[in-house]
Amino acid sequence: MAVALACTLAKDGDSSCFDYSALWTQVIITDVFVFIIAIVAWFFYKESSWIKRVILIIVIFWSGSFVTCGYITWLLFKLSPEESLKDPIYFVLVRRQNGDVDKGHATQASHVTAKVIVTAIGCCLLALIIYAYIVDGSPFYVEVLTPCMITASADTCIHIVVFSVWITYKESSLISSVFWILVLVCFSGIGICVYLVRELFSLSPEQPVFFILFNKNNRQIQEIPSLSLYIYIYIYIYRKELK
């Protein structure tokens, strides 16, 4: 991605090579933004500092998957040897601060909000693709392949690889992993929206939205601290009553 960005800047200087009036250009840019929005949502969960969040968001909208890969690599280098051997993807995804599991009445509302947002993004992208195909026909013609479009396509492909690794981590069977990766490869941003909605519907009402980041085994790890706290409180109250 760094090479693609460097070549684009060397040839065109900036993003002016995009023809924003072309429908297929709008489709590609929207598709790139779908992946970026998903990564930004993870940034908001992962980083507690607003300064870091803002910096990462600004940079990723300019550099795309170059920042995504750099950020993930930095997180991997921060892992301890024990974390690297045990479950590196989980420790890259998870937030380090305690008290992330936020139970309460807001959980169900956040589920609905997340489902509505992801579904709306996927439907908007699908509608734009259908409209572009009806008006401009097939996207496979030479005029579309500007340096910026090639760079944007490379950015999408790299994000597909990143999300494919995440899907492989989440899915319990090889067949399921291959199926969803093929959906992602064939349908790109629409595919990731469908997968995210599917994962949101798999959550129980008590589980917070960020649990979609983790597979079933790691979700149980996230729930254990809260369960232990409830047991501790119960034992404490029981002992007080005995006294």
Any idea of the CA torsion for 90, 228, 223, 84, to the nearest 10 degrees? 0
pLDDT of residue 21: 67
> How far apart (Å, rounded) are the C-alpha atoms in residues 130 and 202?
29
> How far apart (Å, rounded) are the C-alpha atoms in residues 241 and 36?
54
> 89-113 burial, b for 16+ CB within 10 Å, e for fewer?
bbbbbbeeeeebbeeeeebeeebee
pLDDT of residue 227: 46
pLDDT of residue 231: 44
Cβ neighbours of residue 19 closer than 8 Å, sequence gap 6 or more: 25, 146
pLDDT of residue 105: 43
pLDDT of residue 137: 74
Return averaged pLDDT per consecutive 10 residues of the chain, 243 residues in all: 78 58 81 93 90 89 89 92 89 72 54 92 94 79 67 89 95 93 94 94 87 83 50 48 56
pLDDT of residue 52: 87
pLDDT of residue 99: 43
Cβ neighbours of residue 110 closer than 8 Å, sequence gap 6 or more: 208, 209
> How far apart (Å, rounded) are the C-alpha atoms in residues 192 and 198?
10
pLDDT of residue 149: 77
Q: What is the 3 state secondary structure string of 65-121?
A: HHHHHHHHHHHHHHCCHHHHHHCHHHHHHCCCCCCCCCCCCHHHHHHHHHHHHHHHH
pLDDT of residue 69: 93
